[in-house]
Amino acid sequence: MAPAAPRRRFDLAVLLSFGALVLVLATVALLVLDLRERRRLERHLRFADVEDEARFFEEAATYAALRRRVLDGYVEPVESRELLLDALDGGVRALDPHSRLIRPEDQAAVEEQARGEYHGIGVRIDRAEPALTVLYPLEGSPADLAGLRPGDRILRIDEEELGPEDHQHGVEILKGRGNTRVLLRVINAEEPDAPPRVVEAWRQPVPEPAVRHPRPLRSGRVGYVALTGFTPQTKLELLRAMDQLQLAGARSFVLDLRQNGGGSYDAAIECARLFVPHGTIVSERRRGLETEVVRAIPAEARFAGIPLAVLVDRATASAAEILAGALQDHGLAVLLGERTYGKGVVQSTQQITQLIDGLTLGLRLTTEYYFTPLGRNFESRGAGTHGGGLLPDLLVPSEESAIARVRAWMDDLDIPEKHREAVERLSVRSGRPALDERILEEDQLVLAALELLDSSTAVALRLPRPLLQR
């Protein structure tokens, strides 16, 4: 069976010429639907005044004229509904890098991401291989129950053939709706002469912990904790990890926020409250409204005053920047690494219902700016300070390969015992370096943090910021 043709995507600039964001879905529907549908959709329209209403319909007429030109004149047939959705999505995305339209088929994935889980088969993929190759299945996962093994190269997923460079694409299509079947055609690296076999697995929720493998360093004096995201469970995971390390003798901590792209805003606030005893955590400003201030809760500040080094890089974003900014502004941590990504805005997701063909869309729209306790907005698009992002106290350029080695080391620690020998053979065959406990102290940024925590420099770098008295 031939693979389905990819859905046509139109050049963004062309789509934006249709009227950009102002041509909301109701506008187009009013122009092209019958009277009954128009009356139903008029409920969505609100105008500031008569001039606003007149301008609205002028813009709508412009879209209608251009739409007809495209439908009649484009070199290939164009589906009107796809043209509409692409135009709307293009208009929303033009506002900033974070706003977008959420189509019905994408809504489940967005909700899963917010919960810190996804529906998949529970398999770690070998990052060193360009082809989609199983490093190992997670213990008790659908992949494990289906019989996937280390070294299995996935040749086909359902009816879609995978090429030798289809690693990332394959990872994405392994995900899907829960309780759906996926058929995999695989061949194992240790059995090159054996015929491919077909494996059947059923997608299930696969939780992704945000705190992975906290470790004692420097003979237990320093605790290392990597936060890879923020989910509703992150505060409890962080609390448990730091408690265990303190019981083992840790008196200071390295909190690694590199490659942390954010996640739940509420979870980031909860984590910040573990460290900040008084004052502001973050403030939010919406257009035309007063600033809303989120404050610390003294009774929750379990780790207030503990020496803390926070590692950041150019992929540290959003909720991770809220946590890092609060710790930096209150003088509770030294930030090391690179300037952060710079996502200092809040998105609200709204449902738009009763639309064309009964369609329900999600609108993810930027509605507020974040500000750190000292009033810094770190958004990189126009409103940021000095180019956006948070500037570390100690600027240390980092190599992507360094954090990749740390993440791969964490993957190694997840290997089920029954697969460890096979994974080691696979690593030798592919030239994948063996990783051990020393990988952390060989990381230059971790090493800099450890040296800092062992010296008086950490105190000197904490700039006086009288926020704790506010």
Q: Tell me: the pLDDT tens digits for 309-333? A: 999 999 899 999 999 999 999 999 9
The stretch 362-384 carries a mean pLDDT of 83
pLDDT score of 12? 41
| List 318, 380, 398, 427, catalytic entry | 318
Q: Which is nearest to 240 in space by CA: 302, 333, 326?
A: 302
Q: What is the DSSP letter of 354?
A: S
- d(C-alpha 125, C-alpha 402), whole Å: 19
**Residue 314 contacts by C-beta under 8 Å, 6 or more apart in sequence?**
338, 339, 340, 341, 389
| List 329, 393, 411, 412, catalytic entry | 329
Q: Which part of the chain has CATH 3.90.226.10?
A: 215-398+444-461
Domain 118-206 has CATH 2.30.42.10: yes
Q: Is position 412 annotated as part of the catalytic site?
A: no
Q: Average pLDDT of the chain? A: 82
Hey, is 382 helix, strand or coil?
coil
- d(C-alpha 415, C-alpha 411), whole Å: 7
pLDDT above 90 as % of the chain: 41
pLDDT surpassing 60 at residue 27: no
- d(C-alpha 97, C-alpha 67), whole Å: 26
The stretch 82-99 carries a mean pLDDT of 86
| Measured CA angle at 275 (ends 329, 470), to 5 deg | 50
Give the CB-side neighbour count of residue 336, counting CA atoms within 13 A.
24
- d(C-alpha 353, C-alpha 359), whole Å: 7
Q: Check residues 315 and 14 and name the one with the higher pLDDT.
A: 315
Q: Which part of the chain has CATH 2.30.42.10?
A: 118-206
- d(C-alpha 283, C-alpha 7), whole Å: 41
Q: Are 157 and 184 a contacting pair, CB within 8 Å?
A: yes
Q: Are 260 and 227 a contacting pair, CB within 8 Å?
A: yes
pLDDT surpassing 80 at residue 292: yes
pLDDT score of 59? 83
- Least confident range from 19-28, 106-115, 153-162, 378-387: namely 19-28
- d(C-alpha 295, C-alpha 282), whole Å: 7
pLDDT score of 24? 44
pLDDT score of 457? 52
Q: Are 134 and 155 a contacting pair, CB within 8 Å?
A: no
pLDDT score of 222? 95
- Least confident range from 152-156, 169-173, 282-286, 336-340: namely 169-173
| List 86, 235, 256, 343, catalytic entry | 343
- d(C-alpha 461, C-alpha 449), whole Å: 12
pLDDT surpassing 50 at residue 83: yes
Q: What is the pLDDT of residues 239-258, one digit of tens each?
A: 999 999 999 999 999 999 99
Hey, is 144 helix, strand or coil?
helix
Strands 252-256 and 308-312: parallel
Q: Is position 318 annotated as part of the catalytic site?
A: yes
Q: Check residues 253 and 189 and name the one with the higher pLDDT.
A: 253
In the beta sheet, which residues pair with residue 335? 310
pLDDT score of 173? 87
Hey, is 192 helix, strand or coil?
coil
pLDDT surpassing 70 at residue 440: yes
Residue corresponding to tokens 């035309």 = 288
- d(C-alpha 420, C-alpha 406), whole Å: 18
Q: Is position 430 annotated as part of the catalytic site?
A: no
Q: Which is nearest to 133 in space by CA: 168, 100, 109, 92?
A: 168
pLDDT score of 356? 64
Classified by CATH at the fold level, domain 215-398+444-461 comes out as: 2-enoyl-CoA Hydratase; Chain A, domain 1 (3.90.226)
- Least confident range from 233-237, 413-417, 466-470: namely 466-470
Q: What is the pLDDT of residues 223-236, one digit of tens each?
A: 999 999 998 999 99
Q: Are 290 and 344 a contacting pair, CB within 8 Å?
A: no
- Least confident range from 182-196, 223-237, 290-304, 387-401: namely 387-401
Strands 252-256 and 222-226: parallel
- d(C-alpha 431, C-alpha 442), whole Å: 20
Q: Check residues 123 and 26 and name the one with the higher pLDDT.
A: 123
C-alpha distances (whole Å) from 152 to each of 100, 146, 187, 432 are 37, 12, 5, 16
- d(C-alpha 242, C-alpha 355), whole Å: 49
User: In one letter, which amino acid is 342?
Assistant: G
Three-state SS string over 303-340 comes to CCCCCEEEEECCCCCCHHHHHHHHHHHCCCCEEEECCC
